[in-house]
Amino acid sequence: MGNALLAEVLTGFAVGGMLAMAGVLMQVLLRTPLAEPYVLGVSGGAASAGLACMLLGLGGWWISGSALVTSLFSLAVVFLVGGGDARVPRERLLLTGVVMAAGWSTVISFLLAMESSASVHEMLYWLMGDLTRSISPWWGLIALALALVAGWVMAPALDLLVRGDEQAAVLGVEVHRVRLVCYVLAAVLTALAVTLAGPIGFVGLVVPHLVRLRLGARHRILLPFSVLVGGIYLTGLNAIAGLPLIPGSIPVGILSAIVGIPVFLYMLQRTRIGG
């Protein structure tokens, strides 16, 4: 019982930290504070792949590996169509993400419709973002620590990259190299987070926004504090989700959406978009 609770708390911390960091990196890549793994459909891609593996009876690394491939694919589509170019309007980015998320949602519905076994209920819970079935948080924590070290070293370059590729390049950033590392890190963190706990939305949006409000936008501060606050935030939400307020248990992903959707709408209203 104690070990299960510890695994759940540590997984919650790892997943919250990974989603927050993935959010920060996607916001750098796409130069908008509205970018986030769930909103852009990257989590949806990873969840679709994970679900397909479960239905095929494949587990472990199959789920992580296929989730990573679809995360990379989803992010690449958003990036190529939505644009990291400073001249491309940001509505296009958001719309591309929305369309990708809708596409993956359709894939998930189709996969669930094809399955008739009793495990569908369990899969539905996983798809809503659930930490109660956590087994081993260690891979997530190790990956998070390594990603944080890489992010910390890149932090000054990230501060320049958010101003656009040309500005970063003239100030001395090897833009393509840094973007590639950001892109791979964001996809790996999203894929691992989804593998561990299913697609949990809005952590990567809410947490960096709160940290920026209190501590500013410098990535040397923003990245470690987003990881820390993201970990605490999701663990806290999970604790609230476990309270016996209503019959049955609420997946933590539902609570995260209840908090995240108003924050997203508020930020959308406040953010200058239009390129």
Partner 1 sequence: MASLQLDGLVFGHRGQGLTRPVTVEARSGEFWAVLGENGSGKSTLMATLAGLRPPLAGQVAVDGVNLRRMPRKVLARRLGLLLQHQDVAFPYSVRETVSAGRYAHRPPWRPLSREDHDAVERALAETGLLEFAELRADQVSGGEQRRVAIATLLAQEPGALLLDEPVNHLDVRHEVALMDRFRGYADDGRLIMVSLHDVNLASQYADRLLMLYADGTWEAGDTAELLTEDRLEHLYGVPLKEVGSDETPFWVPLGHRKRSRR
Which of 95, 99, 169, 232: binder of partner 1 (CB under 8 A)? 169
Q: Residue 31, interface with partner 1 (CB under 8 A)?
A: yes
Which of 68, 94, 154, 193: binder of partner 1 (CB under 8 A)? 154
Q: What minimum distance in Å lies between the beta carbon of 243 and partner 1?
A: 35
Q: Residue 32, interface with partner 1 (CB under 8 A)?
A: yes
Q: Binding string, 171-190, against partner 1, x = CB under 8 A?
A: xxxxx---------------
Q: What minimum distance in Å lies between the beta carbon of 94 and partner 1?
A: 13
The torsion angles phi and psi of 26, rounded to 5 degrees, stand at -65, -35
List Cβ neighbours of 176 (8 Å cut-off, separation of 6 or more): none
Between CA 145 and CA 141 the distance in angstroms is 6
Structure tokens, 165: 């590729």
Between residues 52 and 161, which has the closer beta carbon with respect to partner 1? 161
Q: Residue 157, interface with partner 1 (CB under 8 A)?
A: yes
Between CA 84 and CA 129 the distance in angstroms is 29
Between CA 20 and CA 26 the distance in angstroms is 10
∠137-139-144 over CA atoms, to 5°? 95
Which of 142, 153, 239, 265: binder of partner 1 (CB under 8 A)? 153
Tokens 């919650």, residue located: 12
Q: What minimum distance in Å lies between the beta carbon of 111 and partner 1?
A: 37
CB atoms within 10 A of CB 84: 19
Between CA 215 and CA 74 the distance in angstroms is 31
Q: Binding string, 237-256, against partner 1, x = CB under 8 A?
A: --------------------
Binding site for partner 1 (CB under 8 A): 27, 31-33, 86, 153-157, 159-160, 162-164, 166-167, 169-175, 212, 216-218, 271-272
